[in-house]
A and B are shown apart, each in its own frame.
Chain A
Amino acid sequence: MAHPPEPQAAHDAGRRDATPQDPPGQGAGGPADHRGSLARRLFPDGETPDPRVSLANERTFLSWIRTGLALQAAGVAIEAFAVIPEPGRKAVAVLLLLLGMLVSGGAFVRWIGIERAVRLGQPLPLPLIAPVLGIGGAVGSVVVIYLILR
Chain B
Amino acid sequence: MDRRRRIPRPAPVGTAAELDRGLQPERTTLAWSRTALACVVVSAVFLRWLEFYGLWLLLMPLLTLVAALTIAGTQHRRTRVGVHAIRHAEFDVDPLPMVLLLALAMVLGAAGLVFVVLA
Q: For the complex, would chain B's binding face be called helix, strand, loop or mixed by DSSP majority?
A: helix
- Residue in contact with B116 in the complex, picked from A9, A55, A68, A90, CB distance below 8 Å: A90
> Number of residues in A with C-beta < 8 Å to the partner?
53
Q: Tell me the complex Cα distance, A79–B117, Å.
A: 9
Q: Tell me the complex Cα distance, A9–B19, Å.
A: 11
Within 8 A of A (CB), among B60-119: 82, 85-86, 89-96, 98-99, 101-102, 105-106, 108-110, 112-113, 115-117, 119
Contact check, B21 vs A111: say whether CB atoms are below 8 A apart: no
| Interface range on chain B (Cβ under 8 Å from partner) | 35 or more
| B42 neighbours in A (Cβ, 8 Å) | 69-70, 72-73, 76
A to B CB contacts below 8 Å, 13 in the list? A4-B19, A34-B92, A51-B86, A51-B90, A52-B22, A55-B27, A55-B91, A65-B101, A76-B42, A90-B117, A93-B116, A104-B106, A105-B102
A-contacting residues of B (Cβ < 8 Å)? 18-22, 24-25, 27-28, 31-32, 34-35, 38-39, 41-42, 45-46, 48-49, 82, 85-86, 89-96, 98-99, 101-102, 105-106, 108-110, 112-113, 115-117, 119
